[in-house]
Amino acid sequence: MEPIELKHPLLEHKLSILRNKKTGTKEFRELISEVTLFLCYEVMKDAKLHEVEVETPIKKMKAQMIDENNYIFVPILRAGTGMIDGIVKMIPNAKIGHIGLYRDEETVKPVRYYYKMPSGIESKEIIIIDPMLATGGSGIDAITLLKEDGAKNIKFLSIIAAPEGLKKMQEVHPDVQIYCAAIDEGLNEASYIVPGLGDAGDRIFGTK
């Protein structure tokens, strides 16, 4: 599946502030959350609706609602957790699973350290969230873990993606639809996204 890159002037504007190295922790966190709202809006575009009866102050009507319990959002620790806030603003009853992965600085390969999912991942829609898709290693590993656990319907939400990672992810997991707010030039020798926004985890948590 071809990745979906969102295009919107407001999103472009917010990404520019997010990328700026002078943007501080508070604003960076807020922007991650705001950009996630856009992505969440897009990923829910094909959500199933069911009919309910609602009484407005004027009359009863048939209205449409989403089953919020049908969605499990899975942040990849740590940086993915910075996106939870944006997700639960839109879908307050969404279930949240966690996958702990970090990139080994030497090998640049993902190392697993935590895995905890809500029940029912076989039948629910799983949406992995991580602001950065660089080599694709973490995303690929997270999807593999979830599939091994029975997940069948998986989507991947990232803010900035590198073409190299997107290609690899499509090769290994062609069934997973990827959504992002920007596809950048590529990776540098340290496998950071160029121009990117630096280390998302460090900027969200103020660790550097």
C-beta closer to ligand URA: residue 10 or 111: 111
Q: Which does 76 bind (CB under 5 to 8 A by kind): ligand URA, ligand PRP, none?
A: ligand PRP
Sign of CA dihedral 38, 66, 120, 2: negative
Minimum CB separation of residue 54 from ligand PRP in Å reads 40
Strand boundaries in the chain, DSSP class E = 4-5, 49-55, 60-66, 71-77, 95-96, 98-103, 110-116, 125-129, 132-133, 153-157, 160-161, 177-180, 182-183, 186-187, 193-194
C-beta closer to ligand PRP: residue 41 or 113: 113
Active site residue 141: no
CA-based end-to-end distance of the chain: 36
Q: Which does 75 bind (CB under 5 to 8 A by kind): ligand PRP, ligand URA, none?
A: none
C-beta closer to ligand PRP: residue 118 or 198: 198
Residue 171: burial class (beta carbons within 10 Å; 0-12, 13-18, 19+): exposed
Structural Rg of the chain based on CA atoms:
17
> Which of 19, 23, 85, 199 is an active site residue?
199
Q: Is 166 in the site for ligand URA (CB under 6 A)?
A: no
Site residues for ligand PRP per CB under 6 A: 76, 78-79, 102-103, 110, 130-139, 165, 191, 199-201
Active site residues: 103, 107, 199, 202
